[in-house]
Chains A and B, each alone.
Chain A
Amino acid sequence: MGVIVLLIIVSVFVAGGFLLAFLWSVKTGQMDDDYTPSVRILFDQNFDNDKNEEKKKLKISNKII
């Protein structure tokens, strides 16, 4: 039976960990905005564009050389 005591203490501490995680998330403002992140995650990163910019930069540096 003694092991139950140990397990319960462990489980309360594990749950306490989640409570701390929740308190931390409130403190750092993660609960302030519950809409925008859901929109933001769906934006495609425009990789083509970045590549084009890199090419442009390359061209410019080639010219300089």
Chain B
Amino acid sequence: MLTSCYHCGADCIETIQEEDKCFCCDGCKMVFKLLDENGLCQYYDLSEMPGMTAKGHFVNEKYNYLDNAAIQEQLIQFKLGDQAHVVFYLPQIHCVSCVWLLENLHKINPGIIQSQTHFEKKEIKIVFNPAVISLKQVVQLLAFVGYEPVIHLGGNDWLKKKKVNKKQLYKIGVAGFCFSNIMMLSFPEYLSNNALELGSLRHFFVYINLLLSLPVLFFSANGFFISAYTGLRQKWLNIDAPIALAITVTFTRSVYEILSQTGAGYLDSMSGIVFFMLIGRWFQDKSYDSFAFDRDYNSFFPLGVTVIEDNKEVNKPLAALVKLEIVLIRSDEMIPADAILLTEGALIDYSFVTGENAPIAVAVGQMVYAGGIQKGRAIQLEVVKPVGQSYITELWNSPVLKAEKNTEQSFVHPWSQYFTIVLFAIAIASGVYWSIYDTHKILPAVTAVLIVACPCSLLLTVTFTYGNVIRWLGRGKLYCKNAAVIEAIHKIDTIVFDKTGTLTNHEDTHLEYMGVVLSEKEMIAVKSVTRESLHPLSKMVTQFLLLEVADITSFQKIENFIGKGTKAICNEYEILVGSIAFLQSNGIKVNTTYEGSVVCLAINGIFKGVFKINHTYREGIALMITRFKCRGYHLHLLSGDHPTEKENLVKILGTDIPILFEQNPVDKLQYIERLQQQGHRVMMVGDGLNDAGALKKSNVGIAVTDQTHLFTPASDAILEGSEIKSLHELVFYAKKAKLIIVTIFILSIIYNIIGMYFATSARLSPMVAAILMPISSISIVALSALLSYAYSLKMSPKN
């Protein structure tokens, strides 16, 4: 049984003790010590093991670029004297302890004056004294305690976009105030038996009502008028057109009644319906603040780079990087532009760009491509192409991706058009009827029809149902960008999956050894050698052997060939571990057919076997695939990886699914395009930059993420990796939204028929309108909530 780290909760393989606590690595221990020294151990009391794994790779030089004045200017929002304000996005914020620690940063460093977190947006606003602590030191402190801010080329532009739509709240506030007051002042009118009882007060009430309804008409409801007007100019009736008409008719008739002293008007109904509809819109639009759905390549690249000029390291904003400059890339940094490698030791992880499993060793003089992450030691590159023209960014700039998607009309709009036509037919019919029998009643009947039968109930149904469905999907860890995505999900018939990172788990890899069985002594020797190398594959071999044997032995001689392998003499063994080519160059006959990510082992000149990296498939994939097949969805799989995994995939997916390997981003994009040309509506499920084009092109792009959504390409929805097994349930649930809307719409038609009965018989009193309106609105909202809850129970229980 492994003990859990006191700081981060990870399993401790090599236990590091401090006081009576265990830590998984020195990094975690150092963070604990820092907090302990500053009396901040309450961090550990608020939630258990709240910390972020330090993994011991904290690099201080990484933030040197923050000393550059141009970059600082981009980040600091406000600076005056001894105060500077800066806002960072910290995706690691996840619990109460995080908030507590981040708001107590001033106890660690007195240069920080104040820090305030926003939990849902995962943001922190820091006020610091630049004379005491530099911006770089602030970021280093945050990174050290485990909250590394996400600072990207796009700068803080995304922060500006995310401002709460305050105007909508103002409108709701004003409408609510006016509605409740108008309703209160209408009661005497409804409850008195005859007009004489109220006397002159009656005029007073109605004129106050009229006054109160003006802000509703001109401020709160102006969104409907503007939208209806723009719709009409483009020559089509959107849902706001009949609503605007109903509001206008109601108001005009009320003003006429009040001025001619023939009645009290329907001002309470009018302001009430505006209030409810505004709430509905707000409810639907209130989606996930902390997610960024619209990322372009800018958000993936760092803000600054280290450039080598005259043998000195200079920090530069990435935007200022030009051709032929020499860039220094440290371990775990991203390559910002296509470049030629100048120094040895490049080991580049392209998994995010291409979907390939293992890091690739690159020889001096070869090209390296933007988006790769250096896994070895620091390397130097000569930039060949500017940032905006690299292979990966060009994909973004292709015209195919510029087109807006999901712009087609919602199915609600045609309904509202039929509705409007039927409405006018009834109004005309009742007008004709009364012109024959009683000409005095023409105007009351016709206006009453237009007042009662406004498609407000349709709008309320749609907005509240989509709002509810988005929230329930969020509980199932599928976060939709907006309501249009739900309608788009409804129409899809084809689903395309990516392999690496989507069906497999990026973080969770395991090794498999194939070859001659090793003795315990041999295993100890191999482990002792591999733990000397920093190569990630070598580290994995060490971890793998650690589970078999615990001891370590000393070795006599060791020679590392970076990016190739290691040669060592350990006790009686001469050990060679490394790539196939490395073993072959040492004169060893390798009898294996494996390509790509393998580590070969030879002892005393004889080939023993290979360590092969397997990515674990996520749980429950097979069931999810079957469920989709049962419902008649067409499934496809596109992978950027080598076809070594084909057999395993066929076992999981079945033989009837097209599986394509070695697909580059453009291939994937074109594949989706071809499917769409065949008339399919495609949902793409992918994770990396290599899927970005396909995600954008597809009708619904779902980005799968494991780490706290640091790296999700632009998409319509974000799904947590652990929940991909229930993707079918989420999709089927989203499809229920239309059913719910239709059900409730039938209910609202019943209300409309009742209202029409009163209206066409010219007996619609303000009181009937005032009763019918809230009852229908509230029952629609309640039924929508109830139905979306009831269907959500069918999704498997979530803990």
**Cross-chain contact B173 with A23 (CB below 8 angstroms):** yes
Task: Report chain A residues within 8 Å CB of B169.
Answer: 26, 31
Residues of A within 8 A of B120 (CB): 33-36
> Does A46 lie within 8 Å of B119, measured CB to CB?
no
Q: How far is the CA of A18 from the CA of B119 in the complex (A)?
A: 28
Do A49 and B204 touch (CB < 8 A)? no
Instruction: Write the nearest CB–CB distance from B128 to chain A, whole angstroms.
Output: 20
Instruction: From the candidates A5, A12, A43, name the one contacting B201 in the complex (CB within 8 A).
Output: A5
Cα A34 to Cα B286 in complex, Å, equals 12
Cα(A52)–Cα(B120), bound, Å: 35
| The one of B100, B117, B166, B181 that contacts A12, using a Cβ cutoff of 8 Å | B181
Q: Which residues of A contact B201 (CB under 8 A)?
A: 1, 4-5
Additional A-B contact list (16), CB under 8 Å, known A16-B177, A19-B177 = A4-B201, A5-B204, A15-B177, A15-B180, A22-B173, A26-B169, A32-B118, A33-B119, A35-B119, A36-B119, A36-B120, A39-B96, A39-B119, A40-B99, A43-B103, A46-B39
- With a cutoff of 8 Å between Cβ atoms, the chain B residues found around residue A46 in the complex are 39, 42
| Nearest CB in chain A to that of B199: its residue | A1
Annotate B184-214 by CB proximity to A: 1 below 8 A, 0 otherwise: 0100000000000001110010001000100
A32 to B212, alpha carbons, bound, how many Å? 28
Chain B proximity of A9: nearest CB distance (Å)? 8
Q: Report how far A27 CA is from B204 CA in the complex, Å.
A: 33
Q: Does B415 contact A (CB under 8 A)?
A: no
User: A residues within 8 Å of B by Cβ?
Assistant: 1, 4-5, 8, 12, 15-16, 18-19, 22-23, 26-27, 31-36, 39-40, 42-44, 46, 49, 52-53
Residues of B within 8 A of A26 (CB): 166, 169-170, 173
Contacting pair B118 A36 (CB below 8 A) = yes
Q: Note all chain B residues with C-beta closer than 8 A to A36.
A: 99, 117-120
CA distance A33 to B120 in the complex (A): 7
Query: How far is A31 from B173 in the complex, measured between Cα atoms in Å?
Result: 12
The distance from the CB of B87 to the nearest CB of chain A, in whole angstroms, is: 12
The reply on B174 being an interface residue by CB < 8 A is: yes
A26 and B117 CA atoms in complex are apart in Å by 18
Interchain CA distance A22-B100 in the complex, whole Å:
29
Assembly CA distance A36 to B118 (angstroms): 6
> What's the Cα separation between A34 and B99 when bound, in Å?
14
For the complex, give the distance between the alpha carbons of A46 and B39 in Å. 9
> Interface 1/0s, chain B 315-350, versus A by CB < 8 A?
000000000000000000000000000000000000
Q: How far is B211's CA from A16's CA once the two chains are assembled, in angstroms?
A: 13
B124-180 residues with Cβ-Cβ distance < 8 A to A are 164, 166, 169-170, 173-174, 177, 180
Task: Report Cα–Cα, A18/B177, bound state, in Å.
Answer: 9
Residues of A within 8 A of B170 (CB): 23, 26
Against A, the Cβ 8 Å flags (1 = close, 0 = not) of B25-51 are: 000000000000001001000000000
Bound state CA distance, A39 and B46, in angstroms?
11
**16 CB < 8 A contacts A-B:** A5-B201, A8-B185, A8-B204, A19-B173, A19-B174, A23-B170, A26-B166, A26-B173, A31-B164, A31-B169, A34-B120, A36-B118, A39-B119, A40-B103, A43-B103, A53-B39
B181 touches which of A15, A31, A34, A43 (Cβ 8 Å): A15
Q: How far is the CA of A1 from the CA of B173 in the complex (A)?
A: 31
* Bound: A26/B208 CA distance, A: 27
Which A residue sits closest to B178, measured CB to CB? A19
Report Cα–Cα, A1/B201, bound state, in Å: 8
Query: Which residues of chain B come closer than 8 Å to A42, judged between CB atoms?
Result: 96
Interface residues on B, range: 20 to 34
Residue ID in chain A nearest B180 by CB atoms? A15
Interface SS of chain A: helix, strand, loop or mixed? Answer: helix
**Closest CB of chain A to B96's CB: distance in Å?**
5
The 7 closest A-B pairs by CB, nearest first: A19-B177, A49-B39, A36-B119, A22-B173, A26-B169, A35-B119, A33-B118
CA distance A32 to B42 in the complex (A): 27
A31 vs B169: C-alpha distance in the bound complex, in angstroms?
9
Give the A-binding residues of B (Cβ under 8 A): 39, 42, 96, 99-100, 103, 117-121, 164, 166, 169-170, 173-174, 177, 180-181, 185, 199-201, 204, 208, 212
Are A39 and B173 in touch, CB under 8 angstroms?
no
* Contacts A5-B201, A31-B164, A36-B119 given; does A43 touch B173 at CB 8 Å: no
Chain A residues closer than 8 Å to B181, beta-carbon distance: 12, 15
A-B contact count (CB 8 A): 59
Q: How far is the CB of A51 from chain B (nearest CB, A)?
A: 11
Which chain A positions have C-beta within 8 A of B96? 39, 42
Distance of A16 Cα from B208 Cα, bound (Å)? 13
Do the beta carbons of B208 and A12 come within 8 Å of each other?
yes
Chain A CB count within 10 A is highest, among B103, B117, B119, for: B119
Q: How far is the CA of A22 from the CA of B396 in the complex (A)?
A: 44
Residues of B within 8 A of A18 (CB): 177
Closest to B169 in A: A26
Q: How far is the CB of B184 from chain A (nearest CB, A)?
A: 8
B45's closest neighbor in chain A, by CB?
Answer: A44
A54 CB → nearest B CB, Å: 13
**Smallest Cβ distance from B695 to chain A, in angstroms?**
30
Specify the chain B residue showing the minimal Cβ separation from A27: B166
- The distance in angstroms between the C-alpha atoms of A64 and B177, with both chains bound, is 64
Which A residues are CB-close (under 8 A) to B121? 33
CA distance A38 to B778 in the complex (A): 29
Most buried by A among B166, B173, B200: B173
Q: Kindly provide the distance from the CB of B290 to the nearest chain A CB, expressed in whole angstroms.
A: 11
Which residues from chain B contact A12 at a C-beta distance below 8 Å? 181, 208, 212
Q: What chain B residues lie within 8 Å of A32 (beta carbons)?
A: 118, 164
* Cα-based distance from A1 to B188 in the complex (angstroms): 13
Q: Which residues on the A side are within 8 Å of B208 (C-beta)?
A: 8, 12
Which of the residues B42, B177, B199 comes within 8 Å of A44, measured between beta carbons?
Answer: B42
List A contacts of B42 (CB < 8 A).
44, 46
Look across to chain A and name the residue whose beta carbon is closest to the beta carbon of B173. A22
CA distance A49 to B40 in the complex (A): 9
Q: For residue B401, give the distance in angstroms from its CB to the closest CB of chain A.
A: 33
Contacts of A1 in B (CB 8 A): 199-201
Specify which chain B residues have a CB less than 8 angstroms from the CB of A23 in the assembled complex. 170, 173
What are the residues of chain B within 8 A of A5 when measuring CB–CB? 201, 204
Interchain CB contact under 8 A, B39 and A52: yes
The answer on a CB contact under 8 Å between B100 and A43 is yes
Residues of A within 8 A of B200 (CB): 1
The complex places the Cα of A64 from the Cα of B181 at a distance, in Å, of 69
> B177 to chain A: which residues have CB within 8 Å?
15-16, 18-19
Assembly CA distance A18 to B689 (angstroms): 50
Say how far B191's CB is from chain A's closest CB, in angstroms.
14
Given A15-B177, A22-B173, A39:B99 Cβ within 8 A: yes
Minimum Cβ distance to chain B for residue A53 (Å): 8
Collect the chain A residues with CB atoms within 8 Å of residue B103's CB.
Answer: 40, 43
Q: Which residue of B lies closest to A29 (CB)?
A: B164
Residues of chain B with a CB closer than 8 A to A22's CB? 173
Q: Closest A-chain residue to B204, C-beta based?
A: A5
CA distance A46 to B99 in the complex (A): 15
Closest to B166 in A: A26
Q: Name B200's closest neighbour in chain A (CB-CB).
A: A1
> In whole angstroms, what is the CA distance A18 to B178 when docked?
12
Residues of B with C-beta under 8 A to A40: 99, 103
Chain A residues closer than 8 Å to B199, beta-carbon distance: 1
A16–B178 alpha-carbon span in the complex (Å)? 9
CB distance from B667 to the nearest CB of A (A): 43
Cα of A33 to Cα of B100 in the assembled complex, Å: 16
